[in-house]
Amino acid sequence: MELKLYLQKKRRLIDDFLKNYISGKKKSKDCPKTLREAMSYALMAGGKRVRPILAIASYEAAGGTSKNIIPVAASLELIHTYSLIHDDLPAMDDDDFRRNQPTTHKVFGEGTAILAGDALLTDAFHIISNTRASRKPLIKVISELSGGAGPDGMVGGQQADLTLEGTNATPKELIYIHTHKTGSLIRASTRIGALMAECSPSRLKALTLYGEKTGLAFQIVDDILDIIGTKEELGKTTGADNAKGKNTYPSTFGLEKSKKIAEDLVNESLKAIKNFGKKAEPLAEIARYIISRRN
């Protein structure tokens, strides 16, 4: 399959949904204009839409065919964008650029940026709860997403990252940070696709393993790109991890070993979905793309 065309097609579906979502905010009399503009600024700034596309690809691999997956998948981008807005704040990573444009707090101020992130987070669950699908899988999706994004998942990973900044984390602590800060939402994305398809427990288990392996590989490659990438490629300042004393795979294991670990994780993810056949080709190609990406 041609991965580039697949990604373009799915990204277009997600972007169309997000545009309609923002248009709804424009018509709302209750959402303040400045808040809506900040939400739109961050949400529509670009991005690869990796998490929504993983949910769609997982849904298709598990046998799903309905368009009901689109709003659920798009909600993942709201969660991801909220996390980026808050990550960039001075109290967190203090970044000035994201996706080759000034960060949300640089344009709208810290207070509005915090509220824009809060708004996107809560609206994600509003979108899911109003999706035209069976209640049973939607309840499971809400549970999965709240777990993956909350204190036992992404937020917990962010806290550990913040707490251990400037220290020499143990390998166990580093793995916790990466599997939670980034990996948990990617894992949740693939599981959400499977849950929406209401697939068998064995298929859910396989897609869960795929999500765990690709999620960790994705963050390791992010660590590597912060060293070898450019600002133009990444859309943000490079070398920030080292400057802030962040615990990364290259700082703990070295650059070459980190590359090998990421490659091994991708190979493990491919093994997890080998029995899915052609339906899982997009998932396989996305995993391979993680290793080769430069942004």
pLDDT band at 60 (very low <50, low <70, confident <90, very high): very high
pLDDT at residue 231, rounded to an integer: 62
> Which of 30-39, 183-192, 195-204, 285-294 is least confident?
285-294
Is residue 295 a part of any domain in this protein?
Answer: no
Residue 238 lies in a domain: yes
Indicate the pTM of the whole model.
Answer: 0.94
**Is residue 196 in some structural domain?**
yes
| Integer Cα distance of 203 and 191 in angstroms | 10
Separation in Å, CA 43 to CA 14, 103, 125, 128, 177: 11, 11, 16, 17, 25
CA atoms of 266 and 218, how far apart (whole Å): 9
User: Rounded distance, CA 235 to CA 220, Å?
Assistant: 18
pLDDT at 1 over 80: no
- Domain residues for the domain of 177 are 3-289
pLDDT value of residue 294: 61
Inside any domain, residue 151: yes
CATH at residue 131: 1.10.600.10
Which tens digits make up the pLDDT trace of 223-277? 999 888 766 656 666 677 777 788 999 999 999 999 999 999 999 999 999 999 9
Is residue 52 situated within a structural domain? yes
Q: How many domains does the chain have?
A: 1
Quote the CA–CA distance of 75 and 18 in Å, as a whole number.
9
* Mean local confidence (pLDDT), 156-170: 94
By the 10 Å C-beta count (0-12 exposed, 13-18 middle, 19+ buried), 273 is classed as: buried
